[in-house]
Structure 1
């Protein structure tokens, strides 16, 4: 797993080094609300989430996600999940016309978590199936109606005032996630996140941080003109609230959960 993370990080570094950079100077924001049902005596759980994104800070809203999934805890540090969602993208200047495109997505993922003293490390592997529909049924140039994608996220957590993430715990959260297109160009997107959070009790956890998302446009050669791969990057303020539903009639001490964002 450490080799996987090293290779992903190296791929990210090389992609940045070989592309033209086109950063967006404006900050956007992501607002995320999640309800989690942890695995119980039979190890089954799940989650539901709503997410909204804006092109500017708390303005120019253009995107939303509605997602839910079912999980199964195969072991203490190994979880399998099947989930799906609806993703709608609109023009913030003309929201009344409805979404420009709507994506229906299904995915399967496995998550490995390592509880190494104070440092908690989570590895998440995901395979996605994605279906797209477009306004008026017109497929834009370069777009497709179906595609697959592979994702890997390395997420680390460090509790600040406790040895574990428990009640009244402040913590740091850092992650790097890479997105791959099986049909190429292979390296498609990278997300780097850093933030702080606080777990109030067994139910409520909040986080605030910054995510830098970079999309990679493939190189092209048209009409004897070569255009190198371009990196379009944008910083976003992320505000997240997670509510964890407690299971009744469970024996023994409550298990430790890392406060990772499901998506």
Structure 2
């Protein structure tokens, strides 16, 4: 689970979206007990303090972990970003983030360059080891690359699961050498009721969640599922050992129907 070099993101992490207070704390501390070493949070989740408490109480050294947070839209200006990231570090009880992302792109009238450069300055100031983006379209990712160079964009974290496969974007990211991170890899549990996924799960004698996660992992995506249940956290981690057949992957490829779960009114015009 540990990184193989300084620029590698561990391929399976514990997400914390929608988890607050003790739920967030218990989820993270349980994940760490089970062997997770990649934890994903965000300023807007309101749980960085709980995540930080869990990391502290786990007794695991920060150097053995990979912790990601995301800068919320109101803090993306150059005069706010560093201070907000310093607050995140204080809440997380860390000296430096492993990865910091622009959580959502700003409206088109605000140049991508302005806030991606602000994040690059935070990286240069030593607040984060790696940087990247989230919920960026191809055009917005190109603008980010033009602003700071492709090597500075470690990942684009986007909603991705068998029901929303985002093929144009993932092909583009792969061509650029940018890692795709899949959030909501189980589509709020919707994938768990899909007959084709249940068919593959029965064939391999595994869970539907493990099928969906293995589908992402075998394509080279990072996945960050979340759960408050120890059994589910353990099952998700075990997806690392699942090997789907080419026929399984083909069957799941046919499930794509652009079924997007995260589409707020400020979202970009998706590819």
Flag whether TM exceeds 0.5 (same fold). no
Using structure 2 for the length normalisation, give the TM-score: 0.28
Query: 1 or 2, which has the higher strand percentage?
Result: 1
Larger CA Rg, structure 1 vs 2: 1
Using structure 1 for the length normalisation, give the TM-score: 0.29
